[in-house]
Structure 1
Amino acid sequence: MTNNDVFRRLRYALNLNNQAVVEAFRLSGMKMGQADITSLVKKEDEEGFRECGDEVLQAFLDGLIALKRGKREGADDKAAPSSEQLTNNDILKKIRIALSLKEDEMLAIFKLASFPVSKSELSAVFRAKEHENYKPCGDQMLRNFLKGLTMKYRESVQH
């Protein structure tokens, strides 16, 4: 999945308007305006499309955490950009933190998307990369989690 896909789907699933998205970016220390947001949600072949890089998606996710849970005590306004590439595991972890999701809630979200995941599979995704039981989160797993989130938070959506 591209970062633009993740951004679009997450924004839709959580029903975030442009104002909320701008606020999330502000909380992460990144200045983004309405026009910037509009260009991020456009499809690749549309005029004005802007690619959502790792730094931008990470700033949005960090801002979403601050928006949903409040800022951490003593946290900098500007999130330190990571030198590593943003992985699906990182994205899933940040969504989990932002929405304060417990393991059973995450499993239920996967089940909503008809993509059952076991407890051990889920915990493997959240392990450190160096851990012997670490498992990379594939695009299919992330896509189905976002689909389940959409079904959970936008109940009027029928699939």
Structure 2
Amino acid sequence: MTNNDVLRLVRSALFIKENHIVKIFALANSNVSANQVAQWLNKDNDSNAKMSDSKLASFLNGLIIDKRGARDGEQPKPEAHLNNNMIFQKLRIALNLKTEDMLNILETVGIELTKYELGAYFRKPDNKHYKQCDDETLREFLFGVKLQSNPDATLED
């Protein structure tokens, strides 16, 4: 899954308007234009509109600030490289979800995990119990978030 796909899925799941996405980037001290956001959200975009890992990290950091407020002290710098586990963790923080909340969301989309299996996604990569989060799990989680907000939602909404 590309970073552009993740942005589109988060936008859809949380019902965020394009102009608010620009504001979310600004919260993380990252300036992007409305035109750039529109290009990233366009499903038919060309390779020139590919969103970088650091831009997606900035968006997710801004989303955390938007949903939970800025933390005291220096704000986190955007990571240069992201993986699905890091994205999953940032979404968990932004949405202030506990393990049970996440398990319930995943259960609504047909993914049944134990709390230990879920916890494996949030471990450090060098931990022997670490598990790589695949695209399907992340995609389904975001659809589950969307369903929690709007039970009549479809993937295309």
Identity %: 37
In the alignment, is residue 97 of structure 1 matched against residue 93 of structure 2? yes
Mark the runs of 5 or more structure 2 residues left unpaired by the alignment: none
Please give the alpha-carbon distance, in whole angstroms, between the structure 2 residues aligned to 1:158 and 1:98. Answer: 23
1:124/1:135 contact within 8 Å kept:
yes
* Alignment of structure 1 residues 10-159 onto 2, 5 Å: 10-43=10-43, 45-46=44-45, 50-76=49-75, 79-83=76-80, 85-158=81-154
1:39/1:48 contact within 8 Å kept:
no
TM-fit CA distance, 1:4: 0.7
Question: TM-score scaled to structure 2, two decimals?
Answer: 0.91
Please give the alpha-carbon distance, in whole angstroms, between the structure 2 residues aligned to 1:93 and 1:124. Answer: 11
Structure 1 stretch displaced more, 29-38 or 96-105: 29-38
Question: TM-score scaled to structure 1, two decimals?
Answer: 0.90
Deviations 1:38-81 (A, max 9, x none): 111011x34697111101110000000000000011124xx424
Please give the alpha-carbon distance, in whole angstroms, between the structure 2 residues aligned to 1:37 and 1:158. Answer: 23
Please give the alpha-carbon distance, in whole angstroms, between the structure 1 residues aligned to 2:12 and 2:100. Answer: 23
1:28/1:63 contact within 8 Å kept:
yes
Cα distance change of structure 1 residues 35 and 106 upon mapping to structure 2, 3 Å threshold: same
What residue identity is the alignment partner of 2:72? E
TM-fit CA distance, 1:90: 0.2
1:93/1:126 contact within 8 Å kept:
yes
Task: Give the match's secondary structure for 1:149.
Answer: helix
TM-fit CA distance, 1:154: 2.6
Please give the alpha-carbon distance, in whole angstroms, between the structure 2 residues aligned to 1:140 and 1:158. Answer: 16
Please give the alpha-carbon distance, in whole angstroms, between the structure 2 residues aligned to 1:37 and 1:154. Answer: 24
Mark the runs of 5 or more structure 1 residues left unpaired by the alignment: none
2:3/2:52 contact within 8 Å kept:
yes
TM-fit CA distance, 1:156: 3.1
